[in-house]
Amino acid sequence: MTVATLADVLQPALRDGYAVAGLVCLGWEDMRAYVTAAEAENAPVILQAGPSCREHTPLPVLGAMFRHLAESASVPVVAHLDHGYTLDECRQALDNGFTSLMYDGSRKPLNQNIDETAQIAELAHKAGISCEGEIGFVGYAGGEASDGTDPEEAAAFARQTGVDAMAISVGNVHLQQDRQGRLDEARIAAIEALTEIPLVIHGGSGVPLAQRSHLARASAICKFNIGTELRMAFGAALRKAVNADPNRFDRVQILKETHDPVVAAARTAISAVSRPKTKALETG
């Protein structure tokens, strides 16, 4: 049984100089592929149920699927609620086997965000699981603009909420379909100088692989959320499978053909950040 909390996998990452991939799930096919990829890389993985996933599949079902995969995996697997917006939603995730709650109060005034996130962190810790919060707002490609994280506010947020990990806005954007974005390393360093907490990058698909690898080993960024590039791999594989034979209708046979391409894409995302800096030095 390798069910893990967020703190279980991020504290070693912070200590040893690597990061853990938080992979955004939409259904059974991708979450199963992600665990296969993590096992192939011998690395921990965070399975994430975001708002669109929860809209499609109820939390009790997602919790059962996450736990089933984690309990049979050979690597640590975290069952993570991504962008929880209400106390009730976080309670429901906790009651259904999730081992990590991400409360997103980033659109709210600072003091309200701190107070509400602290409440979720206390709820999580009493149950023996972890909590992630967000300070600063990470925007969306073609949508809402970002509001960068202020280092002083980040320090207050980390201190007053007691979260196990803190998502920050440092040039990252959700739903970016290329890897042409660049994170603001000076702002990251300023936040690190005032905090001692694992940091999280949402919208990791927009960050070049080389910068992900560098920051995983040279900064306190211990978790990269990856979704868009994996959804693109799934969509391309599904389109190819459907178009290969217009007479085929069995969804199980069609969906099987998404497995290997999604595993390959997930392995790329995991391997970019999961190698500790000591091993990176040993292997050049």
Got the DSSP string for 10-54?
Answer: HHHHHHHT--EEEEEE-SHHHHHHHHHHHHHHT--EEEEE-HHHH
pLDDT at residue 136, rounded to an integer: 86
Write out the two tokens for 238: 């599904």
250 catalytic per annotation = no
Alpha helices in 145-227 (DSSP H): 151-161, 185-194, 209-218
Q: Are 137 and 147 in contact (CB under 8 A)?
A: yes
pLDDT at residue 141, rounded to an integer: 58
Write out the two tokens for 179: 């890897």
Which of 82, 104, 150, 164 does the annotation list as catalytic?
82
pLDDT at residue 184, rounded to an integer: 82
Residue 238 to residue 71: CA distance in whole angstroms: 28
Q: pTM surpassing 0.95?
A: no
Q: First-to-last CA distance in the chain?
A: 34
Q: What is the DSSP string of 54-110?
A: HHHS-HHHHHHHHHHHHHT-SS-EEEEEEEE-SHHHHHHHHHTT-SEEEE--TTS-H
Q: Are 242 and 254 in contact (CB under 8 A)?
A: yes
pLDDT at residue 177, rounded to an integer: 54
pLDDT at residue 284, rounded to an integer: 38
Q: Rg of the Cα trace of the chain? A: 18
Write out the two tokens for 50: 């975001």
Residues in the chain predicted with pLDDT less than 70, given as ranges, are 1, 139-147, 172-181, 277-284
pLDDT at residue 281, rounded to an integer: 39
Residue 227 to residue 225: CA distance in whole angstroms: 7
Q: Which residues of 25-36 are buried (b: 16+ CB within 10 A; e: fewer)?
A: bbeebbbbbbbb
CA separation, residue 78 to residues 124, 129, 131, 278 (Å): 14, 10, 12, 24
Residue 196: count other Cβ atoms within 10 Å of its Cβ: 10
- CATH, range 3-274: 3.20.20.70
pLDDT at residue 139, rounded to an integer: 64
Q: How far, rounded to the nearest angstrom, does the alpha carbon of residue 200 sit from its chain's CA centroid? A: 8
